[in-house]
Amino acid sequence: MNKLPKVLPLALSVELRLQQPGLDIQAQFRVLPGRVCAIVGRSGAGKSALLKATAGLHPSLGGRVALGNQAIYDSTAGVNLPPQQRRLAWLDGHAHLFPHLSVQGNLEYGLARAPKPVNGPNFDAVTQWLDLRSLFKARPARLTPSQRFKVALGRALLSAPRAILLDDPLSGVAEHDQPPLLDLLAQVPTRSKLPVVLISPRMNEVIRMADDVIVLHEGRMTSGGPVPQILSDVSLSTFLEGVNAGSVIEGEVKRHDIQWLLSEIDVAGQRVTAPAVLHAVGRKVRLKIRARDISLHRDLLEGSSASNQLRGRITQIMLAGENGSYGAVGVELDHVRETGDFSIQPGVQIWALLTRRAIQEMDLAPGQPCVASFKAMSLAVSSWR
H helices within the chain, ranges in order?
47-55, 83-86, 103-113, 123-129, 145-158, 178-192, 203-209, 227-231, 356-361
Is 5 among the domain residues?
A: no
Is 36 among the domain residues?
A: yes
Is 2 among the domain residues?
A: no
Helix (H, G, I), strand (E, B) or coil at 281: coil
Is 190 among the domain residues?
A: yes
Over the range 202-233, which residues count as b (16 or more CB within 10 Å of their CB) and which as e? ebebbbbbbbbbbbbbebebbbbeebbebbbb
Specify whether 95 is located in the same domain as 134: yes
Q: Any idea what the Cα angle at residue 376 is, between residues 290 and 335, rounded to 5°?
A: 80
All residues at 6 or more sequence positions from 181 whose CB lies less than 8 Å from its CB, including other chains: 146, 149, 150, 170, 173
Q: In tens digits, what is the pLDDT along the chain, a chain of 385 residues? A: 345 456 678 999 999 999 999 999 999 999 999 999 999 999 999 999 999 999 999 999 999 999 999 999 999 999 999 999 999 999 999 999 999 999 999 999 999 999 876 667 899 999 999 999 999 999 999 999 999 999 999 999 999 999 999 999 999 999 999 999 999 999 999 999 999 999 999 999 999 999 999 999 999 999 999 999 898 888 777 667 677 889 999 999 999 999 999 999 999 899 999 999 999 999 999 999 999 999 999 999 888 888 999 999 999 998 876 667 889 999 999 987 654 444 444 558 899 999 999 999 999 999 999 999 999 999 999 988 7
With beta carbons less than 8 A apart as the criterion, state whether 243 and 225 touch: no
Specify whether 201 is located in the same domain as 253: no
Distance CA 205, CA 380 (A): 12
The DSSP bridge partners found for residue 351 are 330
pLDDT at 4: 47
CB atoms within 10 A of CB 31: 22
Distance CA 114, CA 120 (A): 7
CB atoms within 10 A of CB 162: 20
Specify whether 262 is located in the same domain as 164: no
Specify whether 222 is located in the same domain as 272: no
Domain that holds residue 140: 12-231
With beta carbons less than 8 A apart as the criterion, state whether 182 and 209 touch: yes
Is 214 among the domain residues?
A: yes
pLDDT at 116: 78
Is 3 among the domain residues?
A: no
Distance CA 258, CA 311 (A): 27
Specify whether 285 is located in the same domain as 176: no
Specify whether 224 is located in the same domain as 253: no
Distance CA 290, CA 246 (A): 4
Specify whether 291 is located in the same domain as 152: no
Domain final position from 164, 198, 231: 231
Specify whether 352 is located in the same domain as 213: no
pLDDT at 18: 96
CATH for 185: 3.40.50.300
Is 239 among the domain residues?
A: no
For strands 369-374 and 342-355, give the pairing. unpaired
Is 293 among the domain residues?
A: yes
CATH for 345: 2.40.50.100
**Strand order through the sheet with 295-297:** 295-297, 369-374, 308-319, 326-336, 342-355
